Amino acid sequence: MLFALHYALAWGIDDWPARAMLLVHFGLFLIWQSARLGKRSLEPRQAFMIVSGGLLFAAWNNWWLTAVWLAVLFASIGGNVFGVQRRQQRLAVMLAAVYLLSLLLMWVVPHLFANQRFEPALTLLVRYGLQLLPVMIIFMPVPAGSKSAPLAVDLILSLILFLLVMGLVLGSFVVKQVSQGDYSLALAQSLIVMALPLIILNWLWNPRGGFLGFGRLLSRYLMGLGLPFERWVKGLADLAEREREPARFLALALHDMCELQWLAGVAWQAPHGNGELGARSRYQAEYSFQDLTLTFYTIWALSPALLLHLKLLTQMLGHFYEAKRREEDQRHNAYIQAIYETGARLTHDVKNLLQSLRSLCAAAESSSTDQAAALQGLIKRQLPQIAQRLSTTLEKLRESRPEATAQIDAVEWWENLKQRYARSEIAFSTSAAPAGQTVPGELFDSVAENLLQNALVKAQQHPGVRISASFQPAAGGRLTICDTGNAIQNAVATRLFAAPVPSQTGLGIGLYQVSKQAQQLGYKLTLASNSDGRVCFELARAAAS
């Protein structure tokens, strides 16, 4: 493409061979566009415009149109220098940009002046010397197996380069015509006049010495354009701390936004309901963030900066709104979890009471006539305790706050436990108890009955399993229940006291509940041993941290 352009301009543009080479240049330009766009294809409308422009240049060509075209090529090629990653590709782009700029300033612009004389050395340099730059691009090495990424043109940078080049061309032309001097001097004067403001602007854009600079001032202006951005964000954060309901928070936040002078009204659609504030206008913009959709009605047409602001505000408001929705869901889940845990705990209390009643019924059915006195004594001792525990369970359903657990004598509690499981194959053992030792009866009853029932179920499923229970009344009580069955799986053991664990035998739900109950009372339920032939649980006071 560059060679065709060179042969069309270096030997003049008036003869037909030059016009033919210019058509070849535009054809190669179309091919270069397809390569630059990568996988995207050139639309027929764009190709028609380029072909029409090429035919126009070929039929009605002059040096002014050529100068404009070279400036366009230079801007389009130079606009992607910063987007190129590979060093070889970046160097090729820079060589092409230097070639176009040199051809424009050394050959095309001087032809704009009437009666301009060209030195033979300059003519030879342009016709033969400038060709070395495209030749260098051809022979530039490319790594084997590498693929060049499509070049993305920066529109703003390309526009700035085009304006700078055209300003340099027109400035040189004006200075040359006014001063009637040498073109080289006019070009140097134009470069100096353009360079000084650019140097000053570059220093003011990001200066030193404490001044913010035009760059930061422009960013601050764009971020606060049309609304007190920082104040609105602070108000939104304060509102998020005060208001808990998502629907009311959204309505109040949009009500504060409607105070902006350029905003006529706003409408929203959300899972908690729809609404509208203010008045509608013919200018509107709609943005969505997850399940929230906002429609803004403005007094005048929105600029790109304000459209960007509205999108940012929608995202911020959407994040806060979604956070409020999650908080509401968490409160609801916490409420449901509290109901579940309370129901599960009371269910296990009722289950344990029912098991105690079944034990009494089994003792009554299997006792003989000569054991009537012993059976009557057992019933007299156990039925009041069962009634008391049932009454406590019913009180938990009525009271919003749990009452303090009653303390009972440790020896008495241990004897009652042995009597309830007297007909079970459980080996009980205890140590001597100092006088006056007490334990929280409700907690120890829940733990003992859950562990013993689980162990009895295991013994029924695996005959030959032996169960033992030991109790040390001192220091608040220490209860240990063991069996000789198989070890609990590691996946179950790690979650045994942290969460409900699904199991065919029910192992895990009750232990999770009594473990939380033990923590509330300053005790700790642990799996003291977990190996085949020895699975032990232990309840004791938690060690002070």
Average per-residue pLDDT for the chain? 81
Residues making up the chain, counted from first to last: 545
Q: Give the C-alpha distances (Å, rounded to integers) separating 59 from 11, 15, 73, 100, 292.
A: 17, 11, 20, 22, 58
Other Cβ atoms within 10 Å of 359 Cβ, number: 18
pLDDT confidence bin for 168, thresholds 50/70/90 = very high
Helix 372-398, helix 410-420: angle, nearest 10: 110
Handedness of CA 472, 478, 479, 480 (dihedral sign): negative
Per residue in 251-262, pLDDT tens? 888 888 888 777
Other Cβ atoms within 10 Å of 213 Cβ, number: 14
Pair 472, 434: CB distance under 8 Å: no
Q: How far is CA 533 from the centre of its chain?
A: 50
pLDDT confidence bin for 273, thresholds 50/70/90 = confident
pLDDT of res. 507: 47
State the Cα–Cα distance between residues 11 and 318, nearest whole angstrom. Answer: 65
* CATH T-level fold of 339-541: Heat Shock Protein 90 (3.30.565)
State the Cα–Cα distance between residues 9 and 21, nearest whole angstrom. Answer: 9
Per residue in 458-476, pLDDT tens? 888 888 899 999 999 888 8
Residue in 451, 440, 431 with CA at minimum distance from that of residue 521: 440
pLDDT confidence bin for 221, thresholds 50/70/90 = low
Is residue 225 predicted with pLDDT exceeding 70? no
pLDDT confidence bin for 39, thresholds 50/70/90 = low
Helix 509-520, helix 304-366: angle, nearest 10: 100
Note every long-range contact of 300-308, with CB atoms under 8 Å and residues 24 or more positions apart, other chains counting.
300/262, 305/222, 305/225, 305/226, 306/225, 306/226, 306/262, 308/222
Domain limits, the chain: 62-205, 226-335, 339-541
Pair 540, 478: CB distance under 8 Å: yes
Is residue 136 predicted with pLDDT exceeding 90? yes
Q: Mean pLDDT over residues 42-58, rounded? A: 75
Q: Mean pLDDT over residues 52-71, rounded? A: 83
Is residue 42 predicted with pLDDT exceeding 80? no
Is residue 400 predicted with pLDDT exceeding 50? no
- Give residue for tokens 């029924």: 460
Instruction: Tell me the pairing of strands 426-430 and 467-472.
Output: parallel
Q: How far is CA 458 from the centre of its chain?
A: 48
Pair 478, 539: CB distance under 8 Å: yes
pLDDT confidence bin for 545, thresholds 50/70/90 = very low
| pTM for the structure as a whole | 0.47
First-to-final CA distance of the chain: 81
The 534-541 sheet, strands edge to edge: 426-430, 467-472, 478-483, 534-541, 523-531
pLDDT of res. 115: 77
Q: What is the dihedral of CA 484, 488, 494, 500, to 10 degrees?
A: -110
